[in-house]
Amino acid sequence: MPGHWSCRFRSPRYLLFALLLAALTACGGSGGSGDTAVVPAPTDPQTTDSDGDGVVDAQDQCAATPAGETADVAGCSLSQRDDDNDGVLNAGDECPATPAGESVDASGCSALQATDRDDDGVPNEQDQCPGTLAGAPVDADGCAAGPTRAGDTTDVTLDSEVDGQAIAFTLHEPTAVTEGQTYPLILHSHGYGGSRQSERPAGGLIGRFLDAGYYVISIDQRGHGDSGGTIRILDPDLEGQDLLQILRWADTNLAQLLREGPDPVIGAVGGSYGGGYQLLIHAIDPNGWLDAIAPDITWNDLRYSLFSGGVFKTFWATLLSVGGNAQGGRQDPEVNGGLVNGLLFNSLNQTQLDLLYRNSPASHCAGENDTTAAGALRPIDAFITQSPLDTLFNFNDAARNYRCLRDLGGDVRLFTKSQGHGIDSGDGGENCGVLGRDEMTFRWFEEKLKLQAGAADAIPPVCLNLGPTGADGIVLDQLPEAATLATVEPQTLTLLEGSPQVVAVPLYTAPASGDVLAGIPTVSLNIASASELANPLADPIVFVALGIQPAGSSQRPTALMNQYRPFRGFGSFQDELNGVTARLAPGDGVMLLLQAAQPAQYFTSGSTTPVPVDIDATVALPLIGPGQIAPTD
């Protein structure tokens, strides 16, 4: 998403629309069922294709090919075949290139493969190059000893198989390319409104991957940089298909690409929009070629990110509109229509909401997206990083992605730091205690793609930074749950856009030993008003946050990590508040803040007419005790 801006907008809605309009102009702008039993007609195996794989039943040797997988002439997809004839189908074969005649275990690995996967004479635990080509001479580290040349950097443009639009990306070969050696591939992409890494980097994380022997392909997403088409916010039918085409190109054209059996070994990195594309590929790729991912500061559900609680996040929507349309008017008209509707009317229609949901990991996690490969998500190893200070994609987004992928059965770890989108959030560094995100990301792929045992041991299951700098952090086995309950008696305030009114209610006081607040609070909230029936046009919108009152201070607290969750309408609500992390000193108080308006993130999105309300609540806090310690490497 956008880079690091420090501006804030507090314009009235009509001025906001004028700004957006100027940017757009400058840039170009079922049926029911009865009780009658239906007897199915007999089928002809010579003409019927029961599993829809393109091979009729009479010739189909694999009668239940998973949906979305490509079958061969015998009707068998890659996962249904046993390419090395060891008795274990490809789908469950961890060693898919077993030599003929060798006995294997349940995972499809022979005794030799379990100790020396590439059969180069160097045991797996010592092998720094696990994909040496068969017969190539190796050194003591298991790496090919053939001639070496400097790696090249090449710009590539493909014609999209969807609509002929340009797909632009840059291939960076490893810094040194040795004959007989193979290399894993790392995909990389940019934030919203950005462009690919076309120049060969001399340092940073991408440069480190190249120096360590990885291919890197850096991609211009559709509508960005040199790629054509319009920006559809990672539409699986457009951006998604472009990404799969790039994977197929790499599989065909990278002669020294590391493979596990017939499959290429591939990982992916990037933040924000560059995190979203990783989750999209994982969801829709019928080949399942991504082995590991590392999405940073990205979304789970765009409806939550931009329209949380049915309230439009005008600050971020304005920046996204400017950033997207700065690409030469290539932000899709349907996307612009949603932005205008939200900015003008604080609402989105169902079509616009459906677009946001379909382009979000949440729809794949829920099994509600028709583009999910084979109908369900597969397990994947994922290193998910996020900032609890990020006000665009907050801690809740990361927690939902973490839970979704963890429940699939892969190795999934969660890491928070202070650096997010860099606006309106007081962001700090990239650390969780002493652990740095870039270093942990590099180690992640050394283990997951190069099979370096123990390389990622320094990454805990969950690491949560505490405070604005990241210097303090805690290591946990799992994400904390909200369990400590606090009751809020009815509070009265008048809701109105622009009002400074805030009500602060004590929830909890830290004991003499201190405490740690870390995770996602939940709330049961009731909004009522005597004028509810008298004024049918009343539109109550309240902004709810947690704050910390330092021990001995009488100053009114501000929202912790600047995280606000809006609630709209009368009635009862049960939902999450925005996730927060903080270390509490003895006597520090946790406060519930009820705010009449929120002029930074939600300017012009408050109640348009005064609405006096009474609000009561029960809040559950994720308090995990003072004994948690910062991580050590």
305-349 pLDDT, tens digit per residue, is 999 999 999 999 998 888 888 766 689 999 999 999 999 999 999
- Please give the Cα distance from 320 to 538 (Å, whole number): 30
Name 616's Cβ contacts closer than 8 Å, sequence gap at least 6. Answer: 488, 489, 490, 491, 525, 526
Beta-bridge mates of residue 522: 576, 620
Q: Where are the alpha helices (DSSP H) in 196-261?
A: 204-211, 239-253
Residue 93 pLDDT = 80
- Tell me: pLDDT of 405 over 70: yes
Integer angstrom CA distances of residue 263 from 113, 177, 241, 477: 17, 21, 19, 32
| E strand residue ranges, 502-602 | 502-509, 515-519, 522-528, 541-549, 565-568, 571-576, 580-584, 589-595
Question: First-to-last CA distance in the chain?
Answer: 31
| 326 or 273, greater pLDDT | 273
The answer to which of 76-85, 250-259, 421-430, 566-575 has the lowest mean pLDDT is 421-430
- Please give the Cα distance from 27 to 329 (Å, whole number): 4
Q: Which domains does the chain have, with CATH numbers?
A: 13-22+148-476 (3.40.50.1820), 484-621 (2.60.120.260)
Q: Cα 626 to chain center, whole Å? A: 30
Q: What is the pLDDT of residues 537-564, one digit of tens each?
A: 899 999 999 999 999 998 889 999 999 9
- Please give the Cα distance from 127 to 139 (Å, whole number): 10
Q: What is the pLDDT of residues 25-60, one digit of tens each?
A: 333 333 333 333 444 556 777 788 888 888 888 788
- Tell me: pLDDT of 5 over 60: no
Amino acid present at 64: A
How many Cβ atoms from other residues are within 10 Å of residue 350's Cβ? Answer: 7
Name 135's Cβ contacts closer than 8 Å, sequence gap at least 6. Answer: none
Residue 146 pLDDT = 81
* Helix 333-345 with 350-358: angle, nearest 10 deg: 120
- Tell me: pLDDT of 95 over 90: no
- Please give the Cα distance from 526 to 532 (Å, whole number): 13
- Please give the Cα distance from 577 to 7 (Å, whole number): 26
DSSP conformational letter for 92: G
